[in-house]
């Protein structure tokens, strides 16, 4: 699927016309724990996955490897219950605030960013009083 041939979906046309998809017709979707702000995972949504997420209360993603829709937690039990959905300012990314049940990462970690923290110089903003 490419951006010029987005498959039909029940997504509200006003939302669909705003989305900026990649060449495969997908938009990155960040899942964030609604009450703590913890960033959980990145998945991919096409128009239909976004429509299902908006209308079912459960996160639905497009699996690029399996080439099928998957509802987070359908087989693992590690469900994501939708609390809010927002587009970023360019409409090229989706933020889904969720109530995560269990691990968000397929490795069994709470988040997909637990295991590989890189060494980085920590920046400090200048003292605002100076």
Residue 59, marked binder? no
How many independent structural domains does the chain possess? 1
Span between the terminal Cα atoms of the chain, in Å: 54
Q: What is the pLDDT of residue 1?
A: 42
Residue 105, marked binder? yes
Of 103, 117, 113, 102, the closest CA to residue 42 belongs to 113
Q: Which residues contact 14 (CB under 8 A, 6 or more apart)?
A: none
Residue 90, marked binder? yes
- Write the CATH number for 90: 3.10.20.810
Point out which residues pair with 126 in neighbouring strands.
none
In a domain, 121, yes or no: no
In a domain, 41, yes or no: yes
Instruction: Enter the pTM of the model.
Output: 0.86
Q: What is the pLDDT of residue 123?
A: 93
As averages over each run of 10 residues, the pLDDT of the chain (130 residues) reads 58 96 97 97 97 97 94 93 97 98 93 89 83
The pair phi, psi for residue 97, each rounded to 5°, is -90, 130
In a domain, 93, yes or no: yes
Q: What is the pLDDT of residue 117?
A: 86
């Amino acid at each position: 699927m490419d951006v010029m041939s987005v498959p039909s979906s029940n997504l509200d046309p006003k939302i669909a016309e705003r989305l900026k998809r990649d060449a495969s017709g997908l938009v990155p979707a960040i899942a964030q724990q609604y009450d703590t702000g913890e960033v959980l995972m990145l998945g991919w949504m096409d128009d239909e996955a976004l429509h299902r997420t908006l209308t079912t209360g459960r996160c639905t993603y497009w699996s690029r490897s399996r080439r099928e829709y998957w509802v987070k937690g359908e087989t693992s039990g590690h469900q994501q219950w939708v609390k809010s959905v927002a587009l970023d300012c360019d409409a090229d990314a989706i933020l889904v605030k969720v109530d995560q049940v269990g691990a968000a990462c397929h490795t069994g970690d709470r988040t997909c960013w637990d295991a590989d923290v890189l060494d980085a110089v920590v920046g400090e903003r200048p003292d605002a009083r100076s």
